[in-house]
Amino acid sequence: MQEDTDTMRKILKNKRAFQFVLASLILIPFIIVGIIGFQQFFKEPEKVEYSIEEYHSVKENVYFFGNQRKFVLLNTDSKARPGGGVYLYTTERKVMTSKGGVDLTDRKNRPKSDYWKIRLYDYRTEDLAVKEVDLNKVVADYDASFFPIDFRIFTYRNNPKNVINIEVKDKQGTIKTVVLNIDSGKVEGEYQERSDIYEAGPYFYYTTLDQYAKDKGYLVDHLISISSDFKEEGKVIDTNINLFEEYPEIEKKITEGDWALIPQEEYVTPEEWFDKVLHWMAPKGEDKLTIYGIDTKGQISDTPLTTYAEYQAWVQKQRSEGNINETN
């Protein structure tokens, strides 16, 4: 009898142990979930940073002069930027730039912008006619699996003449470039290289113009602006140049502000820009500045470069001899 009682006690004891183990196994997942939830509840949220761009006024930051408004004076300290050959633009955008300490500005990490719009101002119109492009929308209308991460505006000789090349990415990280026809307002396909783009420049590589201009306080290539180093050093900018003799109203903008003189590529050929620069940078009253070529060894040629054709030939010679792949 005593033996049966002991056996029963053992069975009950083992049963209780089994029930305890079983209950523990059932409760453990709930305990783990509860702990994780508790930690998440009191965990500091990941730090998120955004870049926010707002539209800015353009009209007071641009000035046109010359026949057909060929030349543009642009306040580079403003948010207005040149786009292609016929537009100024500003942007309105909100995009995440950092999350949890991870930099998201790199192309491969760049997320979709909350919103991203471009406001285009047409040089060719007296009132700077405005067009607005919603980058997120035009890309989604073309292919909803992609979103924009960058863009550049171009002007070509043939149709479509005015385009925005939009770099896009999908969730898998695939990157490609699609082309928006500004006139139609639609993406019309993927980017293909074109040869009918307007030439910029010349940049006056391999010539004495660069140092001559810097000594007077200017930076001169495919545009004319003031050397920031020159201003910071407190040097006096030499204003005795034909440019300010012919257009005195722009002198203070260039020499005292942060304005740059930009030719409209659609209307100003490289040859015309070459001639204009040599005339404008010459001392007041002189017809043309004399510049010389500088070879790849830094030696100055004895022969002046008086025409664009002579300049092109000189640059080509230096490229051939030095195997340098620069443009213009």
Residues 213-243 pLDDT 10s? 999 999 999 999 999 888 888 899 999 999 9
- The beta strands (E) that lie in 79-210 are given as 81-83, 87-99, 102-103, 115-122, 130-134, 146-155, 162-170, 175-181, 186-190
- Asked, for residue 41, whether it belongs to a domain, the answer is no
Same-domain pairing of 58 and 156 = yes
Same-domain pairing of 123 and 226 = no
Q: In the predicted model, what is the mean pLDDT of residues 195-207?
A: 91
* C-alpha–C-alpha distance, residues 316 and 328, integer Å: 9
- Asked, for residue 128, whether it belongs to a domain, the answer is yes
Same-domain pairing of 93 and 217 = no
Same-domain pairing of 57 and 160 = yes
Q: Quick one: pLDDT at residue 201?
A: 82
The DSSP call for residue 200 is P
Q: Quick one: pLDDT at residue 232?
A: 85
Q: Quick one: pLDDT at residue 102?
A: 93
Q: What angle do CA 116, 117, 121 make, to 5 degrees?
A: 155
Same-domain pairing of 258 and 145 = no
Q: Quick one: pLDDT at residue 304?
A: 97
Q: Quick one: pLDDT at residue 126?
A: 87
- Asked, for residue 84, whether it belongs to a domain, the answer is yes
Q: Quick one: pLDDT at residue 85?
A: 84
Q: Would the pLDDT of 13 be above 60?
A: no
Q: Quick one: pLDDT at residue 215?
A: 95
- Asked, for residue 281, whether it belongs to a domain, the answer is yes
Q: Would the pLDDT of 321 be above 70?
A: yes
Q: Would the pLDDT of 308 be above 90?
A: yes
- Asked, for residue 16, whether it belongs to a domain, the answer is no
Q: Would the pLDDT of 43 be above 80?
A: no
Q: Would the pLDDT of 203 be above 80?
A: yes
- Exposure on the CB side of residue 322, measured as CA atoms within 13 A: 15
- Give pLDDT tens digits for 288-301: 999 999 999 999 99
Task: List the one residue out of 125, 90, 168, 171 whose CA is nearest residue 264.
Answer: 125
- Asked, for residue 43, whether it belongs to a domain, the answer is no
Same-domain pairing of 136 and 225 = no
- Residue 177: which domain range? 48-62+79-190
Same-domain pairing of 169 and 240 = no
User: Of the candidates 128, 156, 190, which is a domain's last residue?
Assistant: 190
Task: Quote the pTM value.
Answer: 0.80
* C-alpha–C-alpha distance, residues 84 and 198, integer Å: 9
Q: Quick one: pLDDT at residue 39?
A: 55
Q: Quick one: pLDDT at residue 265?
A: 86
User: Of the candidates 190, 223, 249, which is a domain's last residue?
Assistant: 190
- Give pLDDT tens digits for 151-186: 999 999 999 999 999 999 999 999 999 999 999 999
Q: In the predicted model, what is the mean pLDDT of residues 315-319?
A: 93
Same-domain pairing of 116 and 170 = yes
- Asked, for residue 178, whether it belongs to a domain, the answer is yes
Same-domain pairing of 56 and 186 = yes
Q: Quick one: pLDDT at residue 17?
A: 55
Q: Look at the chain and report how many structural domains it folds into.
A: 2
31 vs 245, residue with greater confidence: 245
Using pLDDT thresholds of 50, 70 and 90, give the confidence band for residue 84: confident
- Give pLDDT tens digits for 99-117: 998 999 998 999 999 999 9
Contact between residue 300 and residue 244 where contact means Cβ atoms under 8 Å apart: no
Contact between residue 261 and residue 254 where contact means Cβ atoms under 8 Å apart: yes
Q: Would the pLDDT of 23 be above 90?
A: no
Same-domain pairing of 149 and 229 = no
Q: Quick one: pLDDT at residue 257?
A: 87
Q: Quick one: pLDDT at residue 292?
A: 98
User: Of the candidates 139, 158, 190, which is a domain's last residue?
Assistant: 190
Same-domain pairing of 106 and 134 = yes
* C-alpha–C-alpha distance, residues 200 and 197, integer Å: 9
Q: Quick one: pLDDT at residue 306?
A: 96
- Asked, for residue 166, whether it belongs to a domain, the answer is yes
Same-domain pairing of 262 and 233 = yes
